[in-house]
Structure 1
Amino acid sequence: VERLLQAKANVNYQNKAGNTPIYLASIKGHAAIVRLLIRIKADVNICNKDGISPVYAASRSGRTGIVDLLVNAGADIHLAAADSCGDVPLGIAIRMGHIQTVERLLKANANVNYTNKHGHSLLFEATSEGNKDMVDRLVDTGADTNVATTKSGYVPLGMAAQNGHVAIVQSLLRAKVININHRTKNGRLTPLFLASKGGHVDVVRLLTQKKCDVNICSKGDISPLAIARNNGHIDIVDLLVEAGAKVNLTAESGDVPLGIAAEMGHISVVERLLQAKANVNTLNKAGNTPIYLASIKGHAAIVRLLIRIKADVNICNKDGISPVYVASWTGGTGIVDLLVNAGADIHLPAADSCGDVPLGIAIRMGHVQTVERLLKANANVNYMNKVDDYISYSVYVPEDTTM
């Protein structure tokens, strides 16, 4: 290199890819050659055909010594790559995890709030990579924690909460200014909602300790409590209830926490919600009570629990269907037994075009054991429905009866 320079070689010559000698020396880590070329006044800011500068290439490779040489020689640390991402040297160093290079660039007053072509801030990139050291350094330097991604509207805290990165959440919460209740663009999701959905107990605990709003709902009016309940995250349900979550909030769909928990068979969640004074007879949009939903899904333990809490076993939904009717329809004999013993009215007909009673629907569905239980409860064997069909022993003959 020295001999060629003495022979008046062009110090800024570019090859087919547009790479200069100082670029090639930088990317390969040849510090002595970089130093020599700088002394000969090589242009440290000539980019190649991909818009990559020598300092960017050195930052990507984590060659801190060369970054130092280039910065001292006047390298522009704010030149963004002309690729699909559009990172600056600090951004690529963060994404590649080169902490010493990051330190040098920050010392040179690199812009900590730069946003790349994807609309991602440097802090968001560090958070996405799960790199706590990077997050700490950026927060300490004053990076804006509330810069949201252009497309989805995620902030670093939301991403960390979603990924369950407890240590990073702690780091972000140290920031002087942070919106703990920031909502994403489309789903309107808060960090608490994202952590609750993912089952990240420690993150939920941190956020509630910092007094986040536990009742901010997502699009569709789904609360953090509701999403935790849907996924059976009982520890999170406990934390949210203790933090003041409203247990009777109704979603846009008409669903309520207790009803969904009962329908999904999450008995621990049901117990916790009942302890928190959830309305045992709350109705969803269709008029279904928790005991109705547990009955139709065959969750006997939950039906038993709701009965013990004095749930009304005779509340019909908007179609006039009672819990005992729906249990008879599905052949849930054990649940029919529980409901009958709790005072279910086995003579309540459905308010549909047929108007069957529980015995009638059990016969039509062929559920012999359910029919037996209803007959034992003195169901009316001569009932006639709306279409003039009547219950007759010609339709159903008990196994121990001879004709």
Structure 2
Amino acid sequence: MDVLGSQLKCSVWSSVNRKAQLVKSKLLPDRFSEKVREICRNVVTIIDSRLYLLYQTAKEFLVRNDTANSSEGVHIDLKWKHSLRPQESHRILTEICIWYLLLEDFENSPLGEDGSLSRYVEDYIFLDYSAKHWAAHFRESQIEVQSAMTQSILRICEMSSRRSLTWFRIYWASTNTDFPWGFTNLMIVSYFGLSAAVRHLLKMDGIDLNSRDDTYRRSALSWAAGKGFDIVVQLLINDANIGRRVFKRLIGKGAKINSVDRYGRTPLSYAVWIGNVAVVKLLVKAGARADLKDEIGGTPLSKELLLSAAKKGHEDVVRLLLDTGKTDLDARDNDGQTPLLWAARNGHVTIVKLLLATEKVDVNAKGKNSWTPLSWATEGGHKDVVEVLLKAGAKLDCEYTVYTLLCRAAAKGYNAVVKLLLLETGNVNVNWEDKHGVKCWVVTWHAWAHGRSILTATTPKNDRYSCL
């Protein structure tokens, strides 16, 4: 056996060596360049034996951009250029993913409730991708859904089947949140924005629009609103079938616009949270209340402003909520913050203007830490917000307020903010001390020493500073 093994090793090595020599001979500089050009055509160019892409990415070369000039001719050497049409690619991937998810394996040998997702996915190499992306491919395909496709979608969204529960659990693991047990068929197609499937289910008897899952206590409308699917939201609010809609009005069984989940949040709360104007419009028009408070004490408006710190403000959503006339503009969350405080803190000047224009907000409102909108705007160096607040009557009503803001702005190098404060208050006494005995000139000198020349001494005898 040892001899046979040695002979086998020699044979394999000899074969590999011969193939390596053959490949090597074909990869001589001249022949290599020729081979690369033959394979890649006009995707790459070779300069000084180095390869360079003619396009930033392969996607740019292969994928057709329908917004580009489609009249340009296609050279025979560029037959692959823009050969992939996004919608068609999404359609093909949709069909492949759905076909895969319908395999009997997932019904006969499903993922157990306590089973390991990672080990299960290893046995089905395409399952992870299909579970996470089939719905997105379907939406992007923008194809007219035929009855056969609709039936396939309904089959993989049949939540009583073990097959559906398997792929949905794998998908949900990517959200890093607790799995929503008790999802209904209507909830899952609403969650994924599958409007054709929603229409089909709404025509069936026994569909409860207000059923809620066991984990989050959210309805189909809440899930659709939170994902920003306006067409589905419209369907759930109105129902495509007029006869059913009239019947629902008579018995009061329509989708509840203001249904709350376990956190006290409504569909409108979630729509505002993601800043989806279309969904907010639909919900407000349908009678969604904008003054309900959730578990953490924030109205939808203040929740939106809180979120806008990361998303740079959803001005259109704020306008819509203000137009309802039903929002408590000075409502406070558990941190004592009002909508104006959040807007000033995050530097959203347009939203600050919108709130002040209502003439129903307190420009000098203080949070739990006694900071005003002007305090937050100064701390963040939001010069435009500071200017708007000062014009609106933000008070600098005591030396402590003036010097605290001035010193903090100077220390952070906010030249424009310091100048605004000085113009508002006039010359200031640099010998003023805060409660810790720190003089304002100490901070301004520190700022100057670090290259932040903000103030200059103009009347040394009177210990006064003025704006440069």
Q: TM-score, normalised by structure 1?
A: 0.61
TM-superposed deviation, 1:183: 1.3
* Contact persistence 1:160–1:166 (CA under 8 A): no
Partner of 2:206: 74
Task: Say whether residues 1:267 and 2:418 are aligned partners.
Answer: no
Please state which structure has a larger fraction of its residues in helix: 2
Partner of 1:112: 257
C-alpha distance 47-89 of structure 1, shift in aligned 2 (>3 A): farther
Q: The residue matched to 2:328 in structure 1 has which SS?
A: coil
Partner of 2:290: 145
TM-superposed deviation, 1:103: 0.7
Partner of 2:273: 128
Residues 23-172 of structure 1: matches in 2 within 5 Å? 50-72=181-203, 73-83=205-215, 85-108=216-239, 109-151=254-296, 153-162=297-306, 163=308, 164-172=313-321
C-alpha distance 78-298 of structure 1, shift in aligned 2 (>3 A): same
TM-superposed deviation, 1:46: 7.2
Q: The residue matched to 2:454 in structure 1 has which SS?
A: helix
Task: Say whether residues 1:237 and 2:386 are aligned partners.
Answer: yes
Q: The residue matched to 1:221 in structure 2 has which SS?
A: coil
d(CA) in 1 for partners of 2:161, 2:398: 57
Q: The residue matched to 2:409 in structure 1 has which SS?
A: helix
* Contact persistence 2:213–2:219 (CA under 8 A): yes
d(CA) in 2 for partners of 1:225, 1:179: 21
d(CA) in 2 for partners of 1:276, 1:32: 71
TM-superposed deviation, 1:207: 1.3
C-alpha distance 111-148 of structure 1, shift in aligned 2 (>3 A): same
TM-superposed deviation, 1:227: 1.0
Q: Can you list the C-alpha shifts for 1:295-332, whole angstroms capped at 9, x where unaligned?
A: 2443673341xx44889539xxxxxxxxxxxxxxxxxx
d(CA) in 1 for partners of 2:191, 2:436: 58
TM-superposed deviation, 1:17: 8.8
C-alpha distance 91-295 of structure 1, shift in aligned 2 (>3 A): same
C-alpha distance 273-94 of structure 1, shift in aligned 2 (>3 A): same
d(CA) in 1 for partners of 2:198, 2:187: 8
Task: Say whether residues 1:175 and 2:324 are aligned partners.
Answer: yes
Structure of larger gyration radius? 1
Q: The residue matched to 1:112 in structure 2 has which SS?
A: coil
1:284 to 411, 426, 434: 434
* Contact persistence 1:280–1:290 (CA under 8 A): no
TM-superposed deviation, 1:125: 0.8
TM-superposed deviation, 1:283: 4.2
C-alpha distance 80-160 of structure 1, shift in aligned 2 (>3 A): same
One-letter identity of the residue aligned with 2:255: A
d(CA) in 2 for partners of 1:217, 1:311: 37
C-alpha distance 126-74 of structure 1, shift in aligned 2 (>3 A): same
TM-superposed deviation, 1:134: 0.8
C-alpha distance 199-242 of structure 1, shift in aligned 2 (>3 A): same
Unaligned runs of 5+ in 1: 1-13, 19-26, 39-43, 315-337, 339-403
One-letter identity of the residue aligned with 1:159: K
TM-superposed deviation, 1:82: 2.1
* Contact persistence 2:150–2:196 (CA under 8 A): no
* Contact persistence 1:199–1:236 (CA under 8 A): yes
Q: The residue matched to 2:209 in structure 1 has which SS?
A: coil
* Contact persistence 2:186–2:198 (CA under 8 A): yes
Q: The residue matched to 2:425 in structure 1 has which SS?
A: coil
Q: The residue matched to 1:110 in structure 2 has which SS?
A: coil
d(CA) in 2 for partners of 1:278, 1:180: 33
d(CA) in 2 for partners of 1:249, 1:191: 25
d(CA) in 2 for partners of 1:123, 1:66: 23
Residues 274-313 of structure 1: matches in 2 within 5 Å? 274-277=422-425, 280-281=428-429, 283-298=433-448, 301-304=453-456, 307-308=457-458, 313=463
Q: The residue matched to 2:390 in structure 1 has which SS?
A: helix
Q: The residue matched to 2:288 in structure 1 has which SS?
A: coil
d(CA) in 1 for partners of 2:459, 2:284: 50
C-alpha distance 262-96 of structure 1, shift in aligned 2 (>3 A): closer
Q: Can you list the C-alpha shifts for 1:128-181, whole angstroms capped at 9, x where unaligned?
A: 212111111111122111223313x22221233341111111111111311112
1:201 to 346, 349, 352: 349
One-letter identity of the residue aligned with 2:182: G
Q: Can you list the C-alpha shifts for 1:266-297, whole angstroms capped at 9, x where unaligned?
A: 22212111222267235422243432321244
One-letter identity of the residue aligned with 1:290: C
d(CA) in 2 for partners of 1:277, 1:219: 26
Partner of 1:328: none
One-letter identity of the residue aligned with 1:277: T
Q: The residue matched to 1:158 in structure 2 has which SS?
A: helix
Partner of 2:44: none
d(CA) in 2 for partners of 1:286, 1:175: 47
C-alpha distance 34-200 of structure 1, shift in aligned 2 (>3 A): closer
d(CA) in 1 for partners of 2:416, 2:459: 15
* Contact persistence 2:223–2:267 (CA under 8 A): no
d(CA) in 2 for partners of 1:105, 1:278: 60
Unaligned runs of 5+ in 2: 1-106, 113-134, 139-144, 166-180, 240-253
* Contact persistence 2:403–2:440 (CA under 8 A): no
